[in-house]
Structures are given as C-alpha cells and as structure tokens.
Amino acid sequence: MIKIAMVDDEIGSMQDVTHMLSDYFEKRDQEVQISTYSNSLEFLSKYKAQFDVIIIDIAMPGINGLEMSKKIREVDNTVIMVFLTSMKQFAINGYEVNAVGFIVKPVTEYSLALTMNRVLTKVQNKASRRLVINLRQGVSVVSTDELRYIDVCFHHVVYHTADKEIEAYGTLSEVEEKLKGLPFARCNNSTIVNLNYVTKTTNNSVFLGNTELIISRGKKKEFVNAVLAFNELKG
C-alpha cells in the first residue's frame, strides 16, 4: 500500500485532488491510503515519517509549503514530495528539496496523472527502504542505501553514513530485523555492514574504503560467504 499525505489549506481543492488520486490508483489496482491536512503546522506536529508521498500546496498561511518541505527534509530525506501551485514561477523552488515535480492549479486529471506516473515509478523502483530511527526527540529517516554500517557503542546503536552518524536507543537485533532481505551482514557481534560498500576483506578485517572493521572468528565464515554471494549476484 502507498501512503500519501496531502497538505492544502483550500479544502475544495484538496477534496477534488483526493478524488482524482483515488480514481488514479483504482484504475491501476494499486492500494492507496490518503490522509489530508489543511494546516502545515498541524501536519509537522504529527509527522513521524509515516508516508511514502507528500503532496504540498506551496501557498499556505503561516508556514508555507516550501518552508514546510525544508523542515521535513531535516528529518526525512527519502519521502517523495510533489508541489501544488497556482504560480509556475514558484515551482522551480521545489527542486531545492528534491521534489519529484509540481502540478499547477487548477489540477486536472491529465496533469495529475503525468506527475503521479513518475511518482508511482519511483515508489515501485525503490530498491532500498526508508529506515525510521526513533530518537529521544522526534525521528530521523535515512535510506538504507546511505547506510555504510551500523554498530553499538556504550549501549547505543550508531548508524553510519558517508557524512553523519545517528545515535539512537535500540538493539542490533531490532535493526537486523528491519534490514531483512537487503544486502547487510554482521562481521562481528556488534557491527552490521552494508555489503555494497565493502571494498576489501582480509583474514580478520573488512574495509569500507578507508574504514576498517573487525571480522570476528565466530562470524567469519557466514560473513565471507555473504560477501561472495553478494558479489556473484552483482556479476
């Protein structure tokens, strides 16, 4: 099921687009859940990275659509965004937050379908998953493609990407469950590695570029087999 949020202070417009969206997905036998919000502040206060797609009206009172989208991107870099606008000149600003596209009001079934075709393709082609990390205050969301490795430090789980570290409560077993079916494997009891980033292995170490991680004796056979199988699959 695709989960869509629509944020628009114009209730009539929001209802029209919601009906068009329902028709669009019904014709394609695709399950969809559409949640509507008429206030950007209300949406932000309830946002827990629970949607696949957010359709945002740019011109809203208080926090406008562009400002709202930047706040969303601070915690969620993977959700798909689409903008609604009455003025085409504002649409280009949407690309600052990596929006998939924009739809000019008044919205027609044709213009909606053109953009939603791109959205649907993007959703269906996602090889990675959106990993929602619960923090002490709020959440952080990363694509599993961005994760290089995950380890434990002083009873905290630390998620390592190329440019940041995210520290959260939890266990590696819980993380491992979320990563099932993706190319991740434990190289020791306290470290899970994204096999996409493995550049070299030795008897006791695995290298992710300049980062060296220890391969424990107990995990060595299982981990090396996972690396070999992954490389064979890649060809």
Look up the domain containing 144 and give its range.
130-234
- pTM reported for the whole predicted model: 0.65
Q: Indicate which CATH number applies to the domain containing 206.
A: 2.40.50.1020
| Domain final residue, candidates 124, 145, 170 | 124
Tell me the mean pLDDT in the region 166-180: 92
Check residues 191 and 234 and name the one with the higher pLDDT.
191
Q: Which range, of 1-15, 80-94, 179-193, averages the lowest pLDDT? A: 80-94
135 and 117 in a common domain: no
108 and 11 in a common domain: yes
Residue 207 near residue 215, CB atoms below 8 Å: no
Q: Indicate which CATH number applies to the domain containing 110.
A: 3.40.50.2300
Say what the pLDDT of residue 128 is.
62
| Domain final residue, candidates 124, 153, 171 | 124
- The sign of the torsion formed by the CA atoms of 133, 209, 98, 110 equals negative
What residue type is assigned to position 154 of the chain?
F
E strand or H helix that includes residue 208: strand 205-208
E strand or H helix that includes residue 3: strand 2-7
Say what the pLDDT of residue 94 is.
52
Question: What domain count does the chain have?
Answer: 2
Is residue 214 scored above 90 in pLDDT? yes
Is residue 95 scored above 70 in pLDDT? no
| Domain final residue, candidates 124, 150, 173 | 124
